[in-house]
Amino acid sequence: MTKYRRIGLTVKSGFDHKDEAVARILKILRKLDCVTVVDPTRMHDLPCVRECEPMNPKKKIDLLLVIGGDGTVLRAVREMRDFSVPILSVNRGTLGFLAEIELDEADHILPALLFGKGMIDARGLLQIEAVRGRKAFFSGHALNEAVIAQGTIARLIDLETTVNGDALTTYRADGLIVATPTGSTAYSLAAGGPIVHPAFDSALILTPINPYSFSQKPVIISGESRVDVSVHMKVRKFADVDVNLTIDGQMYVPLQDGDHVRCSVSKETAKFLRRKQDTFLRTLRTKLKWGE
């Protein structure tokens, strides 16, 4: 009997041969006598899932299986209500930093993982809160990062940043990225931030986006810290600019002058089912092509 009996299945919204990919995974799960419940929002049009029960938040699953790329995993984490459920990702995207297996190796690796031969890789999450006045108008989690940035015109904004109530600096920049170690290989890396091994799950990475001052470099701080970013949009003689809080590149929250964005490491973790203890260095070699 498999360790994971009741499997939730979700999929990337649009990619070529989606029905074939899902059908292949379902065939493996049926052979293992697993009960598969599916994401009705993104799989209602697939003929292969007609006999499957739709996922119900009130009914617990043992594992969430995600077919797609990193964006699909980020969306799945954001929509999760029970963080005790591990995630297994089958890559059908591009880079696939968060994926554990490729579709063409699922036939032999997926059964082994479901029979308990894998391990759980817990990744830290950001707890994010946006406050206007004294009232929070947004609260949520991020696996990769929270980004406070302007994106409509080439104009700098001021981001007054404190750590545990102590002044750090006022970034004069296009924006600021607050990332987890998992997110260190995403937007933060593209903006010049460091790669941080996910074993340092209790850490926060602050990476300014195109800072005006050359002295404002990325900073790694303790995950026990609380970061507060106060947004100042009125830059000199110009009118207000459009600034958004972006969560994992997928959710956008409009900000106003004087709003605060508060970030800390969540008590919750996202749990991923892996085939062995440390796949991060292998991922760097293959996904960033360091082995070439």
Our answer to whether residue 248 is catalytic in this structure is no
Query: Which is the catalytic residue, given 16, 19, 33, 70?
Result: 70
Closest alpha carbon to 151 in 249, 267, 60, 62: 249
* Catalytic residue set: 70
